[in-house]
A and B are shown apart, each in its own frame.
Chain A
């Protein structure tokens, strides 16, 4: 995508993260830059005895959906039946802000709205079924 200015995914960062991320320590946002094993071990620590979270939410947007599902399934496989997964999906609106290079004077950037899929997996510790 050769655009005159780098697109800025404004909505994803501004609108979505603030209501959720600072509120609970049990929110994990998965991305493709951080190493897979690091994100997996972070989730494991949160759910572990010292983590202090009875449940965590794993969020993934777009390409990170695949990785979020992988992390959740790995946690479940290692948890030996004590973890329950509850996934839910949503659509996130992203806006690409394009600033035409010839107009540096505060003209509002051309916004192009995109829709992206997101997944939110709730991983909670459940008592093993008798």
Chain B
């Protein structure tokens, strides 16, 4: 499984039989600060785990976001919970329109402590600490506009076909020579800001971050 950060290698039979005798005692995450700049200290953080129920997560998150005072919310998950995190974010974006999004991916180190299942007669307990690097994702949703030059920024989507308009934009991006090295951060947004009036695209700053349209839920 690609759960480990390194490229997947098959375990030799010897290693597998050794792990059978071990029982996982505890798993602890190495907590790291959220990778978003300028976060208010009281931001709601939703930690999505593998077994979390989306219904419960969304109930809590929507209740919090519907308050006028809550401007931002962070969803984070790692390992198998990444897909669920993205799903929660997409559902929230659909229910509340006009949310700005910043997505960050990084590796998270998990520390697992395994101990010997059948202790030796002399009571010897072997401990095994495993460092696992798992991909993890942090998504910030905000009612207020965010810095579009931030890596991973995604403006609020429009209701119209995402792919049709984006196909047009890709062509415009292609027409200019591939100078990605020249302006890597401002290229998508700097150009599009000029074309705001001509092309109705999801990446234009339409609505100015206000929830002026409510997406009707069709799921």
Are A and B associated in one complex?
yes
Interface residues in chain A, defined as those with a beta carbon under 8 Å from any beta carbon in chain B: 15-16, 19-20, 23-24, 36-37, 40, 52-55, 62-63, 65-67, 69-70, 72-74, 77, 84-91, 115, 117, 119, 121, 124-127
CA distance A121 to B151 in the complex (A): 10
A65 touches B83 (CB 8 A): yes
Q: Which positions 87-136 of chain B face chain A at CB distance < 8 Å?
A: 87, 89-90, 94, 101, 103-107, 135
* Other-chain contact of A89, B90, B163, B174 (Cβ < 8 Å): B90
Query: Interface majority SS on A: helix, strand, loop or mixed?
Result: mixed
A74 touches B83 (CB 8 A): no
What are 15 contact pairs spanning A and B, CB under 8 A? A20-B163, A40-B7, A53-B178, A54-B178, A54-B180, A66-B2, A66-B80, A87-B152, A89-B86, A89-B154, A91-B90, A119-B86, A125-B181, A126-B181, A127-B181
CA distance A54 to B90 in the complex (A): 29
A67, chain B: closest CB distance, angstroms: 5
Contacts of A84 in B (CB 8 A): 151, 184-185
B105 touches A87 (CB 8 A): yes
Q: Which positions 165-201 of chain B face chain A at CB distance < 8 Å?
A: 166-167, 170-171, 174, 178-181, 184-185
- Quick one: which of A23, A37, A54, A89 has the most chain B CB within 10 A? A89
B26 at the interface (CB under 8 A from A): no
Q: How many residues of B contact A (CB 8 A)?
A: 41
B151 touches A86 (CB 8 A): yes
Contacts of B82 in A (CB 8 A): 65-66, 69
Interface residues in chain B, defined as those with a beta carbon under 8 Å from any beta carbon in chain A: 2, 5, 7-8, 80, 82-83, 86-87, 89-90, 94, 101, 103-107, 135, 137, 139, 151-154, 157, 162-164, 166-167, 170-171, 174, 178-181, 184-185, 219
CA distance A104 to B99 in the complex (A): 46
Given contacts A69-B135, A89-B139, contact A37 B7 (CB under 8 A): yes
B139, chain A: closest CB distance, angstroms: 7
- With contacts A19-B163, A55-B180, A89-B86 known, what are 4 further pairs, Cβ within 8 A? A20-B163, A87-B104, A90-B162, A127-B184
CA distance A117 to B86 in the complex (A): 6
B152, chain A: closest CB distance, angstroms: 5
A57, chain B: closest CB distance, angstroms: 9
Chain B residue with Cβ nearest A57: B170
Chain B residue with Cβ nearest A118: B86
Chain A residue with Cβ nearest B218: A113
Chain B residue with Cβ nearest A54: B180
Contacts of A62 in B (CB 8 A): 83
A39, chain B: closest CB distance, angstroms: 10
Contacts of A55 in B (CB 8 A): 180, 184
